[in-house]
Amino acid sequence: MKFTTERLPDCMVKLTVEVEPKRVQKSLRRVAQKVARQTRIPGFRPGKAPLKVIVRRFGQEALLQQVVDENGQDWYEEALEGTELEPYGQAQLEVSSYEPLVMTFNVPVEPVVELGEYHDIRLEWEEPTVSDEAVEDDLARRQQEHATLEPQDHPAELEDMVTLDVQGYIGDEQVVDLEKRAVTLNPDIDYPVAGFAEKIVGLSAEEDREFTLTYPEDHPNAAWAGKEARFQVHMHSLKTWVTPELDDELAKTAGDFETLEEWRASVREELETQTLNRAEQEYTNNAVEALVEQAQIEFPTVLIEQEMDQMLQEIDQSLKQRGLGLENYLVMTGQSKEKYRESLREQAHKRVKGNLALGALIKAENLQVSEKEIDDEIEQILESLGDSADDLRQLFSAEAARNSTRGNLLTRAALDTLKAIAKGEYQPPPPPEPKEETTAEDKAEKESANSEEGKE
C-alpha cells in the first residue's frame, strides 16, 4: 500500500492511499461472489456466475465502490499506522480513482494554539454598586406582586379589569360574541379591535354602551379589513388591582422579616449579589475574548459542527425544563431545524476558540485538580439534588462523570487564573522545591545509623 500526506489549512491533512491491484482484485472477487449469491443471474446457479459476467452486469465502478465501502476503514487504519497522524475526528473519504484504486482521506488533526504574551492582558475592573433607587424600584416591583383584585363601584378606568358581554357586527354578520368575559382595559391590547379599551372607560357596572370601531386595513381577516364594526357592550362588574402599603406588615407577608427595613436590607443584598455576578460574568467574557484575540488558533472546522450540535442539545434541554422542547419551539417560530442550527454557527465558532484558548492556558499554567477536589465537587452537586442524590451517586462515581467534573474544575481554575491576570493580581505558584540528591555514601551512612539505633 502506498500513501502520502499533505498538510492543509484549518488543521486538516490530506491522506492519499493507493491500494495494490492484487488486494483490490482479491476484494473485488469476494464482493462479486457475494453479489452472485444474493442476485439471480440467468444461466448460472446462485454464487456460480464468473467475475466477468458479474462485472458486465453490474459495472466495474459500482463493484469497486462496494469494495471501498467494505474495506475503506481497514485500509485507512492501516495507512494511519504508517504515518504519524493522530486523527482528531472522523475523516472524510473520497475516491480519486478506481483503476488504480486511490482513496483520499481528509483527516482532522489536533488544533494548534499559540497563546502569545497572555500575561500582559489587562482589563479595568470596577466594583459594581447598587443605588438606593434600584433597591426602591425592586421593592416596588415586589409590592406590586402582592396586589389583589378587589371589586370597585367607580366608573371604568384604564388598567381596570371588567367583566363584559360583547356583541360585535359588521353589517348583519356577527363577528364578536363574548359572554361574561373578563377583560383588562389595556390600551396596548388590540382585541377585539384597537381602541376597544378606551371605549369602555367611564362605563359603570350594569350599564350598556354602543359604539363603532374600524378594523385596520392590514387585519388578518381580509373580510373584516378596513370595515366599520358596531359593538354592543354590557358591563357586569369592575375590579381594580389594589396594592398593599409598603410597611412592616407587607414585609412579614413577603418573607421571614419582622420589619420593612429588614426586607429592604435583604433586597439590597440580593441585588448586590446579582449585580456582582453579572459584572464578574461580563468581565470573564471580556477576558476570554482578550485571550483569544492575542492568540494564534487553528482548528478543524468539524469542531464547529460538533459545537453547534452541542448547543442544540443544550437549548433543547433548557426548553424542555419550561415544558416546550426544541421541536415545538421550531414549530411555533416557523423555523426549520437546519436553519436554526445554522444561525448558531457564529456563536459556536466563538465558543470553540474560547474553549481551545482556555485549554492551552490550563497546559501553560500546569493547572491541576486533586481527586479530593473532584470528590468535594461531586458531593456538592449531589447535595443540591436533594432526595434524588442517592439514586445518582453511582452515576457520578463512573469514570466518565469524574472526568467531566475534572474538566469543569479545570476550566473554572483557568477562568480564575485569567481574571487574576487581567486584574494584575496574578501570583504564579512557587516552583517545587528541588529534591536533595542522595549519594550512595549518604544512603549507607543513614542505614548504618538506623542499624545502630536498632541495637540500642
378-403 pLDDT, tens per residue?
Answer: 999 888 887 777 778 888 888 999 99
Delineate the domains of the chain, giving CATH numbers in brackets. 2-110 (3.30.70.1050), 148-242 (3.10.50.40), 270-422 (1.10.3120.10)
**How many CB atoms within 10 Å of residue 128?**
16
Q: pLDDT at position 102, please?
A: 95
> Residue 236: which H helix or E strand, with range?
strand 228-242
Check if the beta carbon of residue 64 is closer than 8 Å to that of residue 88.
Answer: no
CA dihedral over 138, 142, 145, 151, signed as positive or negative: negative
Q: Which residues contact 248 (CB under 8 A, 6 or more apart)?
A: 258, 259, 260
Q: What angle do CA 70, 72, 78 make, to 5 degrees?
A: 125
| C-alpha cell, 394 | 453511582
**Which residue would you say has higher pLDDT here, 84 or 166?**
166
- How confident is the prediction for the chain on average, in pLDDT? 90
In this prediction, residue 53 has a pLDDT band, given cuts at 50, 70 and 90, of confident
Q: Calculate the dihedral angle through the C-alpha atoms of 320, 322, 325, 326, rounding to the nearest 10 degrees.
A: -120
Q: How confident is the model at residue 447 (pLDDT cuts 50, 70, 90)?
A: low
Residue 247 and residue 260 in contact, taking contact as beta carbons nearer than 8 Å: yes
Axis crossing angle, helix 345-364 with helix 302-321, rounded to the nearest 10:
110
Is residue 176 pLDDT above 90, yes or no?
yes
Distances (CA, A) of 316 to 194, 302, 309, 323: 37, 21, 11, 10
**pLDDT value of position 301:** 92
Which residues are CB-neighbours of 241 under 8 A, at least 6 positions away?
147, 148, 149, 159, 161
Question: What pLDDT, on the 0 to 100 scale, is given for residue 202?
Answer: 96
Cβ partners under 8 Å of residue 28, min gap 6: 51, 63, 64, 67
Sign of the torsion angle spanned by Cα atoms 260, 261, 267, 270: negative
